Structure 1
Amino acid sequence: MKNLVKWLLAVTYFQLVPENHDQPDLAARDNAATPSPTLTVQRSGGNQSSPLLYGVMFEVGARAAGIPLTSYQEMDHSGDGGIHGQLLQNNGFQGDNPGLAAYKGIGDVELIQDILSSVSSAITSSLQVSVQPGAKGYVGFANTGYKGVPVMNATYSCEFWMMGDYSGTIMLELAGSSSGKIYASHNMTVRSLWGEFTRHQTSFNSSASPDGDNEWRLLFNGSQVDGALNFGLVQLFPPTYKSRSNGLRDDIATFLEKIHPSFLRFPGGNNLEGLQIDSRWQWNLTIGPVVNRAGRQGDWFYPNTDALGIGLDEYLWCCEDMHMEPVLAVWAGKSYGGMVSHLEPYIDDILNELEYILGPSTSTYGSLRANNGRADPWSLQYIETGNEDDLAGGCDTYPDRFMQIHRAIQTNYPNLTLIASNIDFLCLPIDLPSGLLYDHHYYCQPDDLVSMFNYWDNHPRSQPAIVGEYGCRNTTDREGIFWSSMPCSCSEAVHMIGLERNSDVVKMAAYAPLLQHFGFTQWSPTLFGFDSTPNSLTPSPSYHVQRMFSTNRGETILPVHTTTTTSNFHPLYWVASKTTHQKKNPTYIVKMANYRPQNHTLHINIPHTKSGYLEMISGEGNATNLLHDVAIQPVLRKIANSEGGYTVDLGEWGVVVLAVS
Structure 2
Amino acid sequence: MMGSCRLIGVALLLCTWTVAKQSQEGTGSAQKDDNYTATNDNSAPLTLTVLKEGGNQSSPLLYGIMFEEMDHSGDGGIHGQLLQNNGFQGTTLGLTGYKAIGDVDILEDTAYPVSDAIASSLAVQVPIAVQSYVGFANTGYKGVPVINATYQSEFWMLGDYQGTVTLQLVGSASGITYASHNLTVDSNLSHFTRYNTSFNSTAAPDGNNEWRLLFDGAKVAGSELNFALVQLFAPTYHSRTNGLRGDIAGVVEELHPTFLRFPGGNNIEGLQIESRWTWNETIGPLINRPGRDSDWWYPNTDALGLDEYLWWCEDMDMVPVLAVWDGKSYGEIVSGPELQPYLEDISNELEYLLGPANSTYGKLRAQNGREDPWRIDYIEIGNEDDYTGGCETYPDRFMQIYNTIHSQYPSITIIASTIDELCLPVSPPSGILYDYHYYRSPDDLVAMFDLWDNQPRSQPVIVGEYGCRNTSEEEGVFWSFVQASCSEAVHMIGLERNSDIVKMAAYAPLLQHFGYTQWSVGTFIVAPCGDRIVG
Letter paired with 1:198:
T
- Among 112, 137, 141, the alignment partner of 1:142 is 137
Aligned residue for 1:48, secondary structure, equals coil
Q: Which amino acid aligns with 1:327?
A: V
* SS of match in other structure, 1:479: helix
Letter matched to residue 150 of structure 1: P
Aligned to 2:250: 254
Q: Distance in 1 between matches of 2:334 and 2:240?
A: 37
Change (3 A) 1:80 1:409: same
- Tell me, in whole angstroms, the C-alpha distance in 2 between the residues paired with 1:188 and 1:219: 11
Paired residue for 2:156, among 161, 175, 185? 161
Instruction: Summarize the alignment of residues 355-374 of structure 1 with structure 2, pairs less than 5 Å apart.
Output: 355-374=351-370
Q: Which residue of 1 aligns with 2:331?
A: 337
Asked whether the equivalents of residues 152 and 534 of structure 1 are also in contact (C-alpha less than 8 Å), the reply is no
Q: Which residue of 1 aligns with 2:287?
A: 291
State the match for 2:497 in structure 1.
501
Check whether the contact 1:385–1:418 (CA below 8 A) recurs between aligned residues: yes
Counterpart residue number, 2:7: none
The 1:507/1:37 distance shift into structure 2, 3 A limit, reads same
Q: Please name the residue that 1:562 is paired with.
A: none
Alignment of 1:53 onto 2:48: no
**What's the CA shift for 1:301?**
2.5
Q: Kindly report which structure 2 residues correspond to 1:544-559, keeping only aligned pairs within 5 A, or say none.
A: none
1:46-74, CA deviations, whole angstroms, 9 ceiling, x for partnerless residues?
221000000010121xxxxxxxxxxxxxx
Q: Could you tell me which of 507, 522, 527 is aligned with 1:526? A: 522
Deviations 1:339-397 (A, max 9, x none): 12411110111111111111111111111000000000001100000000011110000
Q: Which amino acid aligns with 1:134?
A: A
Q: Report matched runs for 1:444-463 at 5 Å.
A: 444-463=440-459
Q: In structure 2, the residue corresponding to 1:489 is in which secondary structure?
A: helix
Instruction: Note the C-alpha offset of 1:290.
Output: 0.4
**1:12-27 correspondence to structure 2 within 5 Å:** 27=21
Q: Say which SS state the counterpart of residue 284 (structure 1) adopts.
A: helix
Q: Specify which of 392, 415, 434 is matched with residue 396 of structure 1.
A: 392
Q: 1:479 aligns with which of 464, 467, 475?
A: 475
1:128 paired residue number: 123
Aligned match of 1:114: 109
> Cα offset for 1:274?
0.5
Counterpart residue number, 2:185: 190
Equivalent runs, 1:263-274 vs 2, <5 Å: 263-274=259-270
User: In the alignment, residue 331 of structure 1 is paired with which amino acid?
Assistant: W
- The 1-side partners of 2:395 and 2:208 are apart by 52
Q: Is the 8 A contact 1:192 1:198 kept in 2?
A: yes
Change in Cα spacing, 1:206 to 1:503, as seen in structure 2 (3 Å) is same
Q: Report 1:533-572 matches (<5 A).
A: 533=529, 536-539=532-535
**Identity over the aligned pairs, expressed in percent?**
67
In structure 2, the partner of 1:512 is 508
Asked if structure 2 preserves the Cα contact closer than 8 Å seen for 1:183 and 1:206, the reply is yes
| Match of residue 14 from structure 2 | none
Q: CA distance change for structure 1 residues 484 and 532 in 2, over 3 Å: closer, same or farther?
A: closer
Q: What CA distance in whole angstroms lies between the structure 1 residues aligned with 2:20 and 2:399?
A: 42
**d(CA) in 2 for partners of 1:53 and 1:385?**
20
Give the equivalent residue in structure 1 for 2:277. Answer: 281
- Match in the other structure for 1:379: 375
Deviation, 1:278, is 0.4
Aligned twin of 2:33: none
Shift in Å, 1:531:
2.4
**Equivalent residue in structure 2 for 1:177, among 172, 181, 187:** 172
Letter in 2 for 1:293: R
Match of 2:205 in 1: 210
**1:96 alignment partner, SS class:** coil
Q: Residue 141 of structure 1 contacts residue 219 of structure 1 at CA under 8 Å; is this kept in 2?
A: yes
How far the C-alpha of 1:79 sits from its partner, in A, is 0.8
2:35 matched to which residue of 1? none
Query: Following the alignment from structure 1 to structure 2, what is the Cα–Cα distance between the partners of residues 51 and 470?
Result: 19
Residue type of the partner of 1:422? T
Displacement after TM superposition at 1:484 (Å) = 1.0
CA contact under 8 A between 1:113 and 1:127: conserved in structure 2? yes
Specify the SS of the correspondent of 1:343.
helix
Amino acid at match of 1:323: D
Task: Name the SS of the counterpart of 2:309 in structure 1.
Answer: helix
With normalisation by structure 2, the TM-score equals 0.91
Give, in angstroms, the shift of residue 297 of structure 1.
0.9
Residue 321 (structure 1) aligns with: 315
Q: Tell me the alpha carbon deviations over residues 434-460 of structure 1, each in whole angstroms, 9 at most, x when there is no partner.
A: 001000000000111011000000000
Structure 1 residue 477: Cα displacement: 1.4
Secondary structure of the structure 1 residue equivalent to 2:203: coil
Deviations 1:541-578 (A, max 9, x none): xxxxxxxxxxxxxxxxxxxxxxxxxxxxxxxxxxxxxx
Deviation (angstroms), 1:475: 4.2
Amino acid of the structure 2 residue aligned with 1:119: V
Amino acid in structure 1 at the alignment position of 2:333: M
Structure 2 residue identity aligned to 1:412 = Q
Contact 1:211 1:532 in 2 (8 A): no
**1:312 alignment partner in structure 2:** 306
Partner Cα separation in structure 2 for residue 44 and residue 482 of structure 1: 40
Amino acid in structure 2 at the alignment position of 1:50 = S
Alpha-carbon offset, residue 474 of structure 1? 2.3
Shift of 1:480: 2.7
Displacement of 1:77 after TM fit? Answer: 1.0
**Which residue does the alignment assign to 1:642?**
none
Shift of the alpha carbon at 1:207?
0.8
Cα shift at 1:25: 13
User: Could you tell me how far apart the structure 2 residues matched to 1:168 and 1:272 are?
Assistant: 45
2:314 partner letter = E
> Does the 8 Å CA contact 1:208/1:534 hold for their aligned counterparts?
no
* SS of equivalent to 2:364: helix
Deviations, residues 404-442 of structure 1 (Å, cap 9, x unaligned) = 111111100000000000000000001110001000000
Counterparts of 2:286 and 2:408, CA distance in 1:
30
Contact 2:267 2:296 survives alignment (8 Å): no
What amino acid is aligned across from residue 136 of structure 2 in structure 1?
F
Q: Is the 8 A contact 1:472 1:489 kept in 2?
A: yes
Residues in 2 aligned to 1:304 and 1:534: alpha-carbon distance in whole angstroms = 18
Equivalent-residue separation in structure 1 for 2:528 and 2:369 (angstroms): 31
Q: Give the letter for the 1:406 counterpart.
A: Y
**AA matched with 1:237:** F
Question: For 2:431, which of 416, 430, 435 is the aligned residue?
Answer: 435
Task: Tell me the distance in 2 between the aligned counterparts of 1:441 and 1:386.
Answer: 13
User: Take 1:118 and 1:480, find their aligned partners in 2: how far apart are those partners?
Assistant: 38
The separation in 1 between residues aligned to 2:323 and 2:297, in whole angstroms, is 22
The answer as to 2:94 corresponding to 1:92 is no
- SS of structure 1 residue aligned to 2:64: strand
Distance 1:99 1:426, change over 3 A: same
Segments of structure 1 that go 5 or more residues without pairing to the other structure are 1-23, 61-74, 540-661
Partner of 1:79: 74
Which residue of structure 2 aligns with residue 219 of structure 1?
214
Report the AA paired with residue 315 of structure 1.
Answer: Y
- Quote the offset at 1:529 in angstroms: 0.7
> SS in structure 2 opposite 1:402?
helix
* AA at the equivalent of 1:366: G
**Kept after mapping to 2: 8 A contact 1:209/1:534:** no
